[in-house]
Amino acid sequence: MTESEIRKAVIDILAEISPDEDFSSLKDNVSFREQFEMDSMDLLDIVLELRKRFKVQIPEEDYPKLDNMNSTVQYLKPLMNKN
């Protein structure tokens, strides 16, 4: 998957978890929690949905690497291209 495909997939997941948020102005280097009304359970839902959709394993110690769009895409890119 390309970075733009991964980014779109992550935005789709974010939109499912927080349907009332506007992701069109998402800042790639700012934490999802800072930009949107998300708590730790929402972030866990993101991880679980990534696992389900893309069959990737994300260890709990790596969850902080999924803090913002840039870090999430960079983390997922090698995992997505293994499949």
The model's pTM is: 0.89
Percent of the chain exceeding pLDDT 70 equals: 99
- What is the reported pLDDT for 81? 81
Which CATH number does the domain housing residue 46 bear?
1.10.1200.10
- Segments forming the whole domain that contains residue 76: 3-20+27-80
Q: What mean pLDDT is predicted for residues 20-46?
A: 92
The count of structural domains within the chain is 1
Taking the C-alpha atoms of residue 32 and residue 29, their distance in angstroms, rounded to an integer, is: 9
Reported for 42-49, long-range contacts at CB under 8 A and 24+ positions apart, including other chains, are 42/17, 42/18, 45/17, 46/10, 46/13, 46/14, 46/17, 49/13, 49/16, 49/17
Flag whether pLDDT at 83 surpasses 70: no
**Around 81, how many Cα atoms within 13 Å sit in the side-chain half-sphere?**
10
Task: Report how far apart, in Å, the C-alpha atoms of 63 and of each of 24, 50, 77 are.
Answer: 24, 12, 15
